[in-house]
Structure 1
Amino acid sequence: MTDPDRAAAADAVAATAVDAYPKIVAALIRITGDWTLAEDSAQEALLRALDRWPADGVPANPAGWLMTVARNRVLDVLRRASVERRKLRELAVLAVTAATAEPAWEEVTDDRLRLIFTCCHPALPIEARVALTLRTICAVPTADIARVFLVTESTMTRRLTRAKAKIAAARIPYRVPQGPALTERLPGVLAVLYLLFTQGYDADGEPAFADEAIRLTRLLVRLVPEQPEASALLALLLLQHSRHAARRDDNDDLVPLDRQDRSRWDRDAIAEGVRLLAGSPQPGPYAWQARIAACHATAPSAEETDWRRIADCYDQLARLQPSPVVALNRAVAYGYAYGPAVGLTRLAEASSGGALDGYPLALAVEADLLARQGNGERAAELFRAAAARTPGDAERRALLDRAAAR
């Protein structure tokens, strides 16, 4: 067996796992109710593929091959445990599904949606929802999730175990809610997907997480097309992610939005995002955020950005989803639309009551507005103060560069 054979097999396993792994885990959890058994069996199938495919060749139906191996392992475990016949019968049905052509897998797609809603149940803390989504649906290794949340792998393992135990103990139903319950639960699912995206899109984040968030949101839109905020979230993610290739220079330093090479922006993603927005007759919070992103993405240059339109969008967003961060971004928009003095007034309103005290982005916004008023010395002080409070290396360097330029 040659190294190229192993590399080709590893690539085939990775490519198949992206779509097949969550389907397999979701189907096995639905039947057995055992998260650990389902995940262990799916992982065993991937390991078996890495061992067998280099010598035997990649099978004609790779996803079906993985499902069969995982299913057989679960059958062995359950037979030894003498479980009820119903589970064994349902597992037997999977043998037929796995052996058929790809369209039959669409029957399993609903399992993935059920799994998303289960992982994102409001009974779980938000950090647990994100971690469980990454681990179960995206197959992200526990060590990588731990690194994102700045904890040890053993700590993250315990958190995931507690989350699964809570699902079992609370008898959280493994299903997509219907009617008003779906409308009630959907914002929580969308929030987890957006947080997953930001974990990848942030300056020091893991880029693969942003891609996973987009993939999962596409799945959600396909399965609940009647929910406009799901489409709006997908539009927002696409419009933001369209700039990822231009966000860093050759030295891996952050490039501000107004200095990015717009020829490197993903025009296909921008066009898709704009099309999705056209189908939002009653804009919600994600639709207004997407419209703001669209104003940036479709402007021919930074100087031609329609800041007054962006300020109007922030007015609507603040009405629907008031928060100190929205108020801060609204101050930025007003500063560019109507001048830095107006922006500073809006910033003072957003900071009233101490909601933004010590927040590095608030310090950076004030510094930018003061610099545009000509107060470079005070702006430099604030940029340095913001850098001292910023945990990410890339953002810290960008703020110090701006301080040095005053």
Structure 2
Amino acid sequence: MNLKLRLTVLSFLQFFVWGAWLITIGVYWFGNKQWSGAEFGAVFSTLGIASIVMPALTGIIADRWVNAEKLYGILHILYGVVLFYLPQVTDPGQFFWVMLLAMVFYMPTISLSNSIAYYILKNNNYDVVKDFPPIRVWGTLGFIAAMWVTNLTGNKASENQFYIAAIFAVLLGLYAFTLPKCPPQNTIPKNATISEKLGLNAFALFKEYKMAVFFLFSMFLGAALQLTNMYGDTFLSDFEKNPQYEDSFVVRYSTIIMSISQISETLFILAIPFFLKRFGIKKVMLISMAAWVMRFTFFAYGTPEGLGLVLIILSCIVYGMAFDFFNISGSLFVETTTDYKIRSSAQGLFMMMTNGFGAVIGSLGSGWIISKYFEDAAGDKMWHEIWLVFALYALVVTVLFAIMFKHKHHPEEVAEVRH
């Protein structure tokens, strides 16, 4: 099996084992367990809590002491074991802690999978900016495949979604041990400072104005991403409470509708090399932010029929641009603007800001705001108002980024990533 194909398998399974439950856990939580929205916000925040520490920590370990592919494999096996146990939990408080443990093992594997792919491609003389996106697109296809499997097998409200993810997580962990070796790159010099000995060099990136602003707004966009993951499928499923829509296609196959977002991703991922080289990271990030505004605005006016259905579909289509032009382009920007000795650590920092602090802000903040201001007397969510507030948030972030992020793009360079 050639290297690019092996990395494609890695990318596919990396997101398959997440997509099997991430979008549908809200249906399981509110429909199967009938637990509260405030508690759901806390559980979803486990993605962020785990990402605050673990990606940076595992990045340091991979940079300094342990082969990245071995660390990656161990983490996935442990993630699978915890998911096998998760359906046995009957208390929402305990569910939080078990899910947190699962996320401690899973979340750092996202940045590690990027580091592994980058190292193997570079070590075999491939062009990362050109060759990585077509590999990464299979991660999105894996996410879509998992969503479809969960929905079409009738498991979007059942515990089987966790078992599906668990089985493939263990298989992925074992597969990782067959990959080419990705040894630590950051050896410790004799006159090393305490910071260097602890592997904290990457945190010096926050001293650079451009990188500090980039990481700050990565956090804000990470918060926006969590809003979609938490509430998208639940929003569509809630139309069943309206007699006019209770048996609509959107309600019955809400997860399939949501998967249009990931299908859209596959197209925009392939467009990233062109956009980065042509426009540079600032304009690409601004395009992403504008797409988030459209994503939430279209949802605000969406319904399961007529023009409303068109808006829901359009919302899912622009998601591909919103996610990829921020997440994938951001990862490539970090990879190609940092010293090779701290690249795993730098990817961990990017992950920490987006899926760490950003996820915590997005999940806990939205859970509190919705339960306090946007639920009616019957406890039903006021989706129109909710999505408009989210759209306003994305608009403010867009304007501030345009003002604060100072960057001059040089077309002759690859998205100004070589300094």
TM-score by length of 1: 0.26
Please identify the structure whose Cα radius of gyration is greater: 1
Bigger relative CO (Cα 8 Å, ≥ 6 apart): 2
TM-score by length of 2: 0.26
